[in-house]
Chains A and B, each alone.
Chain A
Amino acid sequence: MSFTVFATAIISAMLINNVILMQFLGICPFLGVSKKSSSALGMSAAVLFVMVIASAVTYTLYDLVLYQFNIEYISTIAFILVIASLVQFVEMVIKRYSTSLYKSLGIYLPLITTNCAILGVSEGNIANIWGATVPFGEGLFIAVSTAIGTGLGFGLVIFAFSSIRERLEAANVPKAWRGVPISLIVAGIMSMAFFGLVGVI
């Protein structure tokens, strides 16, 4: 449980294996909630929160319950149950404290439930970190660090993308490219830019 492990997990999950641009998970909110940078930030905060708690809970659940009773095969449905409950909870909190954010996130807030980035991190933690011989505390620490890094990476990319899209609104884009097409081109260029970071660690 050292700082090095923490920093490595964060940087690797945030920049090198970026969840959106390198693993192509969570594309739906990436394209859907990136028109305004303020709602993009709200979305990233909600995703970060759900991702971190979901990773901690699902890792614990897998280690202490599913593995002990030899029922690893129900991991997907059990994880989705945890994630769905967390999203319901986040929805209640946002509705209570920020009606405007609730309205600007719209359908994408409940859709965090089916956001493959979150299930992807939970399942990825089990596939990459969990092992019968890995001590529980250490594994949980790396899993949570990875989740924080992935959530920050999600936030970084979606915020950068929304800022670019805000600038594109005012730019002189050829008519046929306006709106979604130019955004998809931008996403592709951003993805290529992130490929430059492969091999840093």
Chain B
Amino acid sequence: MAATLTLAIMGLVLGLGLAFAADIFKVEVDNRIEDITELLPGYNCGACGYPGCSGFAEGIVAGEVDNLSDCKPGKDEHYDPILAYIKDHPNADGSHIDVKK
């Protein structure tokens, strides 16, 4: 009985502590990164200078990438949906990501 209670109370206290910690240390993940990664060719060739397609997508969202054509294997069929996606999904402050084809 004492053992069960001890473990139950410990679980409750530690769980609550972790729940609060998760709230304090939560990482804001921009889900546009994942969506743009899906739209890229997906070869992970690294020709754009970033580590793989998800790295390139992170660069696009961060505004570091000027031209989508840095993605060498990409063609218009990849670039156009990304530009359309970026148009539909502005930054949190309402501005648009500045990137050309």
Contact = CB atoms under 8 A, between A and B. Distances in A.
Contacts, number: 43
Interface stretch (A17-25, A89-97, A166-174): A89-97
User: Which of B3, B18, B21 neighbours the largest number of chain A CB atoms within 10 Å of its CB?
Assistant: B3
Interface residues of B, number: 15
Interface string B9-33: 0110011011001100111000000
Given A93-B25, A95-B25, A96-B27, A88 B10 contact: no
Contact of A81 (B7, B21, B22, B26): B7
Interface in A47-83: 61, 65-66, 69-71, 73-74, 77-78, 81-82
A88 B3 contact: no
B6 A89 contact: no
Interface residues of A, number: 19
For the complex, would chain A's binding face be called helix, strand, loop or mixed by DSSP majority? helix
A78 B7 contact: yes
Contacts of A96: 25-27
A74 B21 contact: no
